[in-house]
Structure 1
Amino acid sequence: MAIIDTYRRNVAKKQDEIARLVEQKSKEYSKITGFNSKIQSATRQMNASKSAATIKSRLNEIHRNQENIAKVEKKVAEFEAKIAKKNKDLQAEQRKLTNEELKEAKKLQKQQTKFQQEQAMAFNNVNKTLSEHTDAINSLNELPKEITVLFLASNPRDQGQLGLDEEVRTIKEMITKSRHRDVVKLESCWAVRPGDILQYINEYQPTIVHFSGHGSANDELVLMDSNSKTKLVSMESIVQAMSVANEDLRLVFFNTCHSKNQASNVTEYIECAIGMNNSITDNAAQVFSAQFYSSLGFGFSVEKSFKQAKAALMLEGILEENTPALFVKEGYDARDICIVAE
């Protein structure tokens, strides 16, 4: 049993004891009225009688009743003393009860304050968790959209054979090492013929089209015919094909010799393009393109990626850093074009 309950029981007990004593005092005090009535009656009889015996008897009766009244008054006084003592004890118990109730109230207030603090903390934790989840969701929403690089390779048998398989392998390896490797998808198509270009573009819906192979000094792209031999495709044809490509196409990379005019003309329809000022060696083409896609995969702009690709040539000691050329559509700035957005 809690101590406060003990104090309450003690207070109630003292109150009951006092009530009983007050009741007993009242009963005892009521006897005085009867004794006074007897004294008055005896007095009247004594005054009306001339008999000495009667007078003496009534005097004795008056004396007895006066003694009885004195006894009653003594008992009443005793009851009053007991009541006073019980009231004193009651006040002591009430003080104990009041103090304990104050302690309990403070304890309850402390518990309520603690509960409110815990509730507030729990609420803050919930808000924090929701905020973290919101941030996580926002982060997911901010992840770069998946892009497709369509690698179109053509290496006719009657031309000097290029290491196009090495180029695509190196590009894939460098993309894998980049920050956003999971959003850069490389699709390679081989032995490309003129009729394959739009077919593959429609099939893969690329963000970047990468031509790898030979180019002619007359701004022609060297593809293959049905016999795997050279099939020249004019610059005008390539530009026309790019102009009607998918809406997501943002960059065309001509990793072929003598392709600067093709790249320049393509930017009438496409945001940016890369071509070669003159011929480029197989090794230079591989190093440049691999670093360019790696830099894009880190979320860098087209301009920064282009410059890093040129720097990669210099680091390798390949003196062809001025061969690649970057072209941008009018009204655009290569510094602001990020193919893989951060």
Structure 2
Amino acid sequence: MSANLYRRQLERKRQQRIDAEKKAGECRSKETEKRTAAARARTAASKAKSVTTARSKLREAKRREGEAAKAGKDAARWQGRASGYSKQETDLQAKLAKAEQGEQDKAERLRQREQKKAERQRAAEDRALQSRMDHTEAIVNNAVRELRAPKVEKLRVLILGASSESGDRALRVGREQKRIRLAVESALHRELVELDVRPSATTSDLLDGITKFRPHVVHFSGHSDDDLIEFEDELDDFHQGVVVTARAFASAVKATDDPPLLVLLNSCNSAAQIDRLIDRQVTPFAIGMADEIQDGDAITYAAQFYAAMANGQSIKSAHLSAQAALELAGLSGAELPTLAHADDVDPAHTILVKPAQ
């Protein structure tokens, strides 16, 4: 619930408490007034010279005392309500403080995300300037790299999933791999896509998949940060993963005569690694996540990305379609997936699944 909603509820509850305390005060004043009147009536009864007058004053005193008792009960009831409202006020104040802190944290994460995005933008502009200086002739002629297009063969996608720990760090990589497979099998050109799915992926799976399967696309889902990627070990029980540097991962992906066209790191804070993959010419296209991404967001993005690819869409369109799927599902991570590419390729015109003419 938003902080604004808690503020409105808190204001209503505060007004209810004030009104109840006012009612309680009015009832106490009435109780005092009636008891005073009863006392006067009893005094008058004691001084009356006639029996009739005395009895009349005693009846009046009794009536006033009854009215005083009722006013006292009303005062207690309204005071009880005021106490209840006060407790609810305290609860709402705690919830409001928590909501405000959550919104501040969210704003800070957004600020940091925008800062990282700006830093990547500046880095990209610096690379573009350096590229123009180093490759003037190629840029003037709008030269585009001759990619290893899979038009006469199936698009090969190596899917590596690693989540060796239980508890809070456990990820549903199996669910993601299933969703990707179902998305491809339902696509227009499903017969043109071949998947090599490796759950519980180790570093050996990475090297074996790169050299044996010769993938056009390398997809990793698991844990990572700005400079590390976590694979699994050859253990059956839950365990701490095998952490490798982003540089070591890039070297493994590059160690082939047929380097991939696209590397997709569907893991937290991996966008910091994709520019290095481009700079080291590991791959002309790379996708990473600009911040921590929720499991459901990562699964939805991956499924729609490969569905669009297998439907014959360009890399850019598949990326935009997957981001749109997150927004349509009401998920919060649509801005996290980040697409990077080399200066001499165009993701809007690169289609990796194309049927024979």
Global fold match (TM > 0.5): yes
Give the structure 2 partner of residue 254 of structure 1.
265
* Residue-by-residue CA offset, 1:34-89 (whole Å, 9 max, x unaligned): xxxxxxxxxxxxxxxxxxxxxxxxxxxxxxxxxxxxxxxxxxxxxxxxxxxxxxxx
3-state SS in 2 of match to 1:195: helix
CA contact (8 A) 2:227 2:245 kept: yes
Q: Which one of the candidate residues 210, 213, 232 is aligned to 2:219?
A: 210
Corresponding letter in the other structure for 1:231: V
How far 1:177 moved relative to its partner?
1.4
Q: Which one of the candidate residues 152, 156, 174 is aligned to 1:165?
A: 174
**Structure 1 residues 250-329: aligned runs within 5 Å:** 250-268=261-279, 269=281, 270-329=283-342
* Residue-by-residue CA offset, 1:12-42 (whole Å, 9 max, x unaligned): xxxxxxxxxxxxxxxxxxxxxxxxxxxxxxx
Q: 1:299 to 1:160 in 2, by over 3 A?
A: same
Q: Which one of the candidate residues 221, 230, 245 is aligned to 2:241?
A: 230
Q: 1:203 to 1:143 in 2, by over 3 A?
A: closer
Corresponding letter in the other structure for 2:180: I
Corresponding letter in the other structure for 2:286: A
Provide the C-alpha distance between the structure 1 equivalents of 2:183 and 2:205, rounded to a whole number of angstroms.
27
Provide the C-alpha distance between the structure 2 equivalents of 1:223 and 1:312, rounded to a whole number of angstroms.
28
**Structure 1 residues 53-132: aligned runs within 5 Å:** none
Corresponding letter in the other structure for 1:191: S
Based on CA coordinates, which of the two structures has the bigger radius of gyration?
1
Provide the C-alpha distance between the structure 1 equivalents of 2:234 and 2:308, rounded to a whole number of angstroms.
37
Q: 1:170 to 1:333 in 2, by over 3 A?
A: same
TM-score w.r.t. structure 1 length? 0.56
Q: 1:260 to 1:245 in 2, by over 3 A?
A: farther
CA contact (8 A) 1:238 1:262 kept: no
* Residue-by-residue CA offset, 1:204-259 (whole Å, 9 max, x unaligned): 1111110011113x421011234442211111111222222341511111001111
How far 1:176 moved relative to its partner?
1.2
Gaps of 5+ in 2: 1-149
Matched, 1:191 2:200: yes
Give the structure 1 partner of residue 153 of structure 2.
145
Matched, 1:241 2:249: no
Give the structure 2 partner of residue 201 of structure 1.
210
Gaps of 5+ in 1: 1-141
Corresponding letter in the other structure for 1:178: A
Provide the C-alpha distance between the structure 2 equivalents of 1:157 and 1:328, rounded to a whole number of angstroms.
33
Provide the C-alpha distance between the structure 1 equivalents of 2:262 and 2:202, rounded to a whole number of angstroms.
21
Q: 1:204 to 1:223 in 2, by over 3 A?
A: same
Comparing 263-272 with 310-319, which one deviates more in the overlay? 263-272
TM-score w.r.t. structure 2 length? 0.53
* Residue-by-residue CA offset, 1:148-190 (whole Å, 9 max, x unaligned): 1111111112571111111111111111111100111111112
Number of residue pairs the alignment of both structures matches: 200
* Residue-by-residue CA offset, 1:274-306 (whole Å, 9 max, x unaligned): 100011110000000000000001111000000
CA contact (8 A) 1:276 1:325 kept: yes
CA contact (8 A) 2:305 2:319 kept: yes
Identity of aligned residues (%): 26
What is the RMSD computed on CA atoms of the aligned residues? 1.8
CA contact (8 A) 1:145 1:340 kept: no
Provide the C-alpha distance between the structure 2 equivalents of 1:144 and 1:284, rounded to a whole number of angstroms.
33
